[in-house]
Amino acid sequence: YEGEFFRYIGSLYKLIHPADLPGMQAALNKHIQGRAFFYEAEYRIRHKLGDWIYTLARGKIIEWDTQGKPLRLCGINIDISKRKKLEAELQALAMTDVLTGIYNRRYFTQLLEKEMKRSQRYQTSFSLVMFDIDHFKQVNDTYGHDVGDLVLKEVVSLIKTRIRKTDFFARWGGEEFIILLLNTSYEQAAILAESMRELLQNTSLPQVGRVTASFGVSSYQANESIDALLKRVDDLVYQAKRNGRNCVRVDRY
């Protein structure tokens, strides 16, 4: 590339966020090559104040030289930062539990389905840990739902200290939670679940003191349905509660 047009484009490239530059270049090249009637791309660009803003760029080359190279492009750039922020907020709402900030049941189920397909394809392993806070109804009845909500958030914060960034943690319902542990055997998952149980048992929470939880641990088996896997781990939590609560039950399948 050479000439005034490409010198301008080269200076523009320096302002575009590195992660967005390939997409912008692809859209522009598609127009230059005649495969698109006009050029359109969304990308982050460095503002004069130093921060990144999202912009929607639309344009069309209106003058070419005798060799078929572009000379002038006419177009507009629209600041779409507010729209992008709203989109991100809506996406977060669709993925996360409002109270605790971790994944919600719907999104976790989608992640689990994807991981099951990946496991079948690449022969990888993963395990599930599900747990239910013991006697949580008594917490709500005794201290009120506001305190109950605080307990849920405190429990989530504690459990987060035991899992990896690559694991998926979700609120399954009420006081029930589930964790997807990638590349983890049931033996490893059981050790982790026991450490979580001990952490909860030995931690005094504001206003309510110590709380305990009942855990179920199971690993995915080849060609198992999502419903069968979830039922197995849920049954294990139920077994833990029937056996006195505050314990871990493991399915060695």
Enzyme catalytic residues: 175
Assess contact for 134 and 211: CB atoms under 8 A.
Answer: yes
Is 206 strand, coil or helix? Answer: coil
* Alpha helices (H) along the chain: 4-13, 21-32, 81-95, 105-122, 136-143, 145-160, 186-201, 226-242
- Backbone torsions φ then ψ of 181, nearest 5 degrees: -105, 110
Beta bridge partners of 173: 176
Other C-beta atoms lying within 10 Å of the C-beta of residue 116 = 18
Assess contact for 104 and 171: CB atoms under 8 A.
Answer: yes
Q: Could you tell me the two tokens for 23?
A: 């997409």
Give residue for tokens 């359109």.
40
Q: How many angstroms separate the CA atoms of 245 and 238, rounded?
A: 9
Assess contact for 161 and 171: CB atoms under 8 A.
Answer: no
**Crossing angle (nearest 10°) for helices 136-143 and 145-160:** 140
